[in-house]
Amino acid sequence: TDRKKLHTAPVGQVFRLRPFHVLVATGGGYAGYRKYEDYKLEQLEKRGIEVPVKLASEWEVALYKSVPTRLLSRAWGRLNQVELPTWLRKPVYSLYIWTFGVNMKEAAVEDLHHYRNLSEFFRRKLKPQVRPVCCMHSVISPSDGKILNFGQVKNCEVEQVKGVTYSLESFLGPHISTEEMHFSQAPPGNSFQQQLVTKEGNELYHCVIYLAPGDYHCFHSPTDWTVSHRRHFPGSLMSVNPGVARWIKELFCHNERVVLTGGWKHGFFSLTAVGATNVGSIRIYFDQDLHTNSPSYSKGSYNDFSFISNNKEGIPMRKGEHLGEFNLGSTIVLIFEAPKDFKFNLKAGQKIRFGEALGSL
């Protein structure tokens, strides 16, 4: 009589699955499978074996998008801001350093106990002069990372990796008005690419740099230029590692991104910071009104902000000057106008560090 009664729920109630749970489980499992496939591709690349392009189908992209990466990224961001006990900081950061090959000797503060949370550790600063800015070349790397692709823009298409392209207009959005850009605009009948080129004899060039989790997470101005406009595209936060970039066409057009446009001595210049999984926070130092990875957004929407109307001369940036930061790692895309004799000093797949030359005339 003293025994406690055990109350059990009906079997059907215990095993009842809700659509959200099925979606998360299926999408998460598939994302894990893709990670394994990416790992195999990386191993083949290291052995010098060329990997054939195999694009994802529409249902595969839809399945990947079903994973609540935006929600997970916000949760990860909050977790990163939780202050760690002093005794736990060194073990946690040491594990991250070992996993992603972080070089702490370059950090301004090498003592791991100094960083109160993961967010501070991710956004660590470098020692002065550890990244000397190249003065001999007109365009430098804005960040540490890996060169995914570079070259001339052709037929309004840009390569995110070799053999996989995306639409220039979908990526940058509608052409900005002449008043905001401060230089001449081509006739409306011309293609989107031709409208960006403002000087006769110039070409449009692009460069894609992937920032791995172990890289320095700040990015800088790649040249002397003036930022006149910011366009923020809310969107998905899918992974942008080279394996996924090779698999999903127009990946950069799906993901959240911040497009900064303006001009340099040769005409049009733009820098785009592309968000990714766990990189819901993109910060631009001079733009306090920018808020990325908000809980709600309309698919395909974007919002514009002009620095010309608020600051008549725009925002002048010097080569190497601090521009912004990610909260983990992601991708920087440069699209700019230059004379036909502009040459890149790069190789696809090479590692590069902030301050090193991208190319020059």
How does pLDDT run across 27-69, given as a tens digit for each residue? 556 556 556 666 666 666 666 665 566 777 788 888 877 777 7
Sign of CA dihedral 131, 133, 134, 138: positive
330 carries an active-site annotation: yes
DSSP string covering 134-176, please? PSSSSEE-SSSEEEEEEEE-BTTEEEEETTEEEEHHHHH-SPP
pLDDT of residue 1: 46
7 assigned to active site: no
pLDDT of residue 359: 86
- The residue ranges of the chain whose pLDDT is under 50 are 1, 4-9, 11, 13-15, 20, 23, 178, 182-184
Please, what is the Cα angle at 143 between 142 and 148, to 5 degrees?
Answer: 95
Q: Which residues contact 344 (CB under 8 A, 6 or more apart)?
A: 150, 151, 205, 207, 358, 359
List 220, 229, 254, 266, catalytic entry = 220
**Catalytic one of 73, 138, 143, 330:** 330
Domain ranges of the chain: 139-174+192-360
pLDDT at 288: 87
The answer to whether the CB of 218 falls within 8 A of the CB of 125 is yes
* Contact assessment for residue 209 and residue 137, using Cβ atoms and an 8 Å cutoff: no
Structure confidence by residue, pLDDT tens digits, 96-117: 899 888 899 999 999 999 999 8
Of the residues 38, 144, 215, 287, only one is catalytic, namely: 144
Does the pTM surpass 0.95? The reply is: no
| pLDDT score, position 64 | 79
206 is catalytic: no
Region of 267 please: left (phi>0), alpha (psi -120 to 50) or beta. Answer: left
pLDDT value at position 318? 94
Where does residue 242 rank: exposed (0-12), middle (13-18), buried (19+ CB within 10 A)?
buried
> Which helix (H) or strand (E) is 351 found in, with range?
strand 351-352
